[in-house]
Chains A and B, each alone.
Chain A
Amino acid sequence: MSEVFVIVEHRLGEIRDITLEMLWKAGELAQEHSYNVTAILLGHEVSSIAETISDRADKIIISDDEQLKNFNADIYKEIIAGLIEESKPGLILIGNTAWGMELAPCLAVRTGFPLATDCIDITFKDGKLTVQRQMFSGKIFSNVSFSSSAGCLLTIRSGVFPKDRIGDRQAQIVQREFSLKEIPQKKDFIEFVETAAGDVDIAQAELLVSVGRGIGEEENISLVRELAEALNGLLSCSRPIVDKNWLPKYLQVGSSGKSVNPKVYVAVGISGAFQHLQGITGAGTVIAINKDPKAPIFRAADYGIVGDLFKIIPVLKEKVLETRKG
């Protein structure tokens, strides 16, 4: 393998953190195995993004076109497949994001390259590539290798690698033009809509008490709400609570909800799926309450209470009220 491709993800003119994280990992692999790091930047008016990563890649291939302003899996797929054919990179890194999860499988079928999704680590030893990933909601880990192939596609989970620069690189900029008209446009972009606005902003809260599927029934949410109120904190929740329409979307914590940074985050009946944990990386202290001692949340939390929330929460609430009374 002589070259690693990193597909740059950006949205509304801003580079996404996942890009920096992938460049960090690509840079680390490159240092160990003397590969070149090539960033693929497709977009419109993207010079400031190119600037941001110019010392993190050996080459940046830029295609600047009005039609590339917004992500489009079909166009990305054709351009990247062409570039892969040209340069024969051994490894292609794509974000395991909504967009990356649409692009990567299509690209895999298109190129015939093997694909491993949602990778949390990559090792390359004695010419053999192995990735680490999770299964069964994070309760099992696996090491995955690949059938022999000219190259491999990997999608990378957000937040597992640092955003820092690694090594010292000076990117050569290569501008490319592609005749996009020949690529059939299958999907027309209409607009972006904000799906998560509301009257309280959990992102501003100092203390959050968050409720998850462990609450069982909609009526029981009041139990957790009362604890939040006793603490003068705000109530938030995990995704299934919003999926069931029990609480509004703007109270959802996680990758597809909000990122929060309270001093203290209390997770009640939440298992700790990585999409949820991605929303609480900014939390000061995390306290988890869960009856399953093996729940992944206990690996991410600072303090844990193992037990039935229906028994624990009322006692906590009483103690809090008692303490407040003085």
Chain B
Amino acid sequence: MDIVVCVKRVPLTEEVDLAVDEHKKGIKKDQLAFVLNDWDNYAIEEAILLKEKHGGTVTAITVGSEEDEEVLRRCLAMGADRAIRIEAGDVSRFDSFGISKILSRVVKDFPFDLVFTGVLADDDYCGMVGMMVAEELGINHANMVIAIEIENGKARTTSELEGGLGEVSSIALPALLAIQTGINEPRYVSILGIRKAAKKELKVMDLSELGISDEELSPRTIIEEVYLPPETEGAQILTGDPDKIASDFVEILTKKGVMG
């Protein structure tokens, strides 16, 4: 079972005040901490679990800058066999179309049974690279995957639908599966583990090696402007000392008839 996993490094945005950059096309990133996209963390774990069960290899790929190698090293420490970074200059000039063109071109020449992506990247919130790569490669696919079993050259997958319903399908390999959170429990990675994994292969390829024309990569969607959420009325904030807040809390519950 040879599995390729597409991963992305994204900023952690929880509990930070995001600020729009001067061109209003993105956010200021210099103060932010970066992590492996949550969905991709589950995807790499799932690939490693399948490898442990069925043998084979796991390759992690990212289209990104040198700094993004940090997430590839994490994947190697988790148990991936090798990693590839595609150096493509300023990645923010591509939309998901472009990224999926690049990824599919790299993956195409690989021997693989499965390609995994996350359902969604936490930064752009597009949720489309996975299925686009599948379509570019012309291979079978499933989205929102929360369970995988390999049997007789096929993957039996469960896709999560709205309202807690699961759709079970059988898919012939090779296939691309977009992985949803909760499919497994991603393993812990220690600093030591990351240091040890430094010996593993991390290959850098240049976009120009891939022979994709600029025309093919030109964005089809254009971010005109990004901005902070419009002010809405929002919640009435309870203020005062803790005791006062607690009294107000109880008063609201009483008024709404749930303290009886």
Q: Does A245 contact B (CB under 8 A)?
A: yes
The answer to whether B223 touches A144 (Cβ under 8 A) is yes
In the assembled complex, the CB of A301 is this many whole angstroms from the nearest CB of chain B, namely: 4
Q: Does A87 contact B (CB under 8 A)?
A: no
Chain A residues whose CB sits within 8 angstroms of the CB of B140 once the complex forms: 186-187
Question: Which of A28-36, A39-47, A57-65, A189-197 lies on the face that meets chain B?
Answer: A189-197
Q: Which residue of B lies closest to A130 (CB)?
A: B224
Whole-angstrom distance between the alpha carbons of A244 and B221 in the complex? Answer: 35
| Number of A residues, CB within 8 Å of B | 101
Chain B residues whose CB sits within 8 angstroms of the CB of A133 once the complex forms: 125
Partner of A137 from the list B125, B146, B227, B258 (CB cut-off 8 Å) is B125
The answer to whether A303 touches B252 (Cβ under 8 A) is yes
In the assembled complex, the CB of B93 is this many whole angstroms from the nearest CB of chain A, namely: 13
Q: Which residue of B lies closest to A190 (CB)?
A: B168
Whole-angstrom distance between the alpha carbons of A147 and B219 in the complex? Answer: 7
Q: Does B33 contact A (CB under 8 A)?
A: no
The answer to whether B168 touches A192 (Cβ under 8 A) is yes
Partner of B135 from the list A109, A116, A316 (CB cut-off 8 Å) is A109
Whole-angstrom distance between the alpha carbons of A271 and B172 in the complex? Answer: 39
The answer to whether A263 touches B258 (Cβ under 8 A) is yes
Chain A residues whose CB sits within 8 angstroms of the CB of B230 once the complex forms: 141
Q: Does B61 contact A (CB under 8 A)?
A: no
Chain A residues whose CB sits within 8 angstroms of the CB of B236 once the complex forms: 302-304
Question: Which residue of A98, A138, A145, A286 has the most chain B CB atoms within 10 A of its CB atom?
Answer: A98
Chain A residues whose CB sits within 8 angstroms of the CB of B13 once the complex forms: 136-137, 139
Number of A-B contacts (CB under 8 A): 276
Partner of B141 from the list A102, A244, A294 (CB cut-off 8 Å) is A102
Partner of A256 from the list B17, B97, B160, B258 (CB cut-off 8 Å) is B160
B contacts with A: majority SS: mixed
The answer to whether A231 touches B164 (Cβ under 8 A) is no
In the assembled complex, the CB of B123 is this many whole angstroms from the nearest CB of chain A, namely: 6
Chain B residues whose CB sits within 8 angstroms of the CB of A303 once the complex forms: 235-238, 249, 252
Given contacts A105-B128, A136-B125, A139-B229, contact A110 B135 (CB under 8 A): yes
A contacts with B: majority SS: mixed
Chain B residues whose CB sits within 8 angstroms of the CB of A300 once the complex forms: 235
Q: Which residue of B lies closest to A249 (CB)?
A: B164
Partner of B220 from the list A114, A118, A318 (CB cut-off 8 Å) is A114
Q: Does B159 contact A (CB under 8 A)?
A: yes
Q: Does A52 contact B (CB under 8 A)?
A: no
Whole-angstrom distance between the alpha carbons of A163 and B100 in the complex? Answer: 34
Whole-angstrom distance between the alpha carbons of A225 and B133 in the complex? Answer: 44
Q: Give residues of chain A (297-323) contacting chain B, Cβ–Cβ below 8 Å.
A: 298-306, 311-312, 315-316, 318-320, 323
Whole-angstrom distance between the alpha carbons of A69 and B160 in the complex? Answer: 18
Q: Which residue of A lies closest to B230 (CB)?
A: A141
The answer to whether A258 touches B163 (Cβ under 8 A) is yes
The answer to whether B235 touches A288 (Cβ under 8 A) is yes
Partner of B15 from the list A243, A288, A291 (CB cut-off 8 Å) is A291
Q: Does A162 contact B (CB under 8 A)?
A: no
Whole-angstrom distance between the alpha carbons of A293 and B237 in the complex? Answer: 10
Whole-angstrom distance between the alpha carbons of A118 and B128 in the complex? Answer: 10
The answer to whether A145 touches B246 (Cβ under 8 A) is no
Chain A residues whose CB sits within 8 angstroms of the CB of B123 once the complex forms: 135-136
The answer to whether B136 touches A109 (Cβ under 8 A) is yes
Q: Which residue of B lies closest to A149 (CB)?
A: B220
Chain A residues whose CB sits within 8 angstroms of the CB of B259 once the complex forms: 231, 320, 323-324
Q: Does B169 contact A (CB under 8 A)?
A: yes
Whole-angstrom distance between the alpha carbons of A113 and B245 in the complex? Answer: 53
Whole-angstrom distance between the alpha carbons of A284 and B13 in the complex? Answer: 29
Whole-angstrom distance between the alpha carbons of A312 and B221 in the complex? Answer: 45
Residue contacts A-B, CB under 8 angstroms, 27 given: A73-B131, A97-B161, A101-B127, A106-B132, A114-B221, A115-B220, A135-B125, A136-B125, A137-B125, A140-B228, A141-B227, A142-B227, A143-B227, A144-B224, A147-B220, A186-B140, A189-B169, A192-B168, A195-B166, A240-B181, A250-B164, A263-B257, A288-B235, A291-B15, A298-B234, A305-B249, A323-B254
Q: Which residues of B contact A (CB under 8 A)?
A: 11, 13-15, 17-18, 20, 27, 96-97, 100, 119, 122-132, 134-136, 140-144, 146, 156, 158-172, 181-182, 185, 218-230, 232, 234-238, 242-243, 245-247, 249-250, 252-254, 256-259
Known: A118-B127, A303-B238. 14 other contacts (CB 8 A): A98-B167, A99-B161, A136-B18, A136-B27, A140-B226, A186-B172, A187-B171, A195-B166, A206-B258, A285-B252, A286-B235, A301-B234, A301-B235, A319-B250
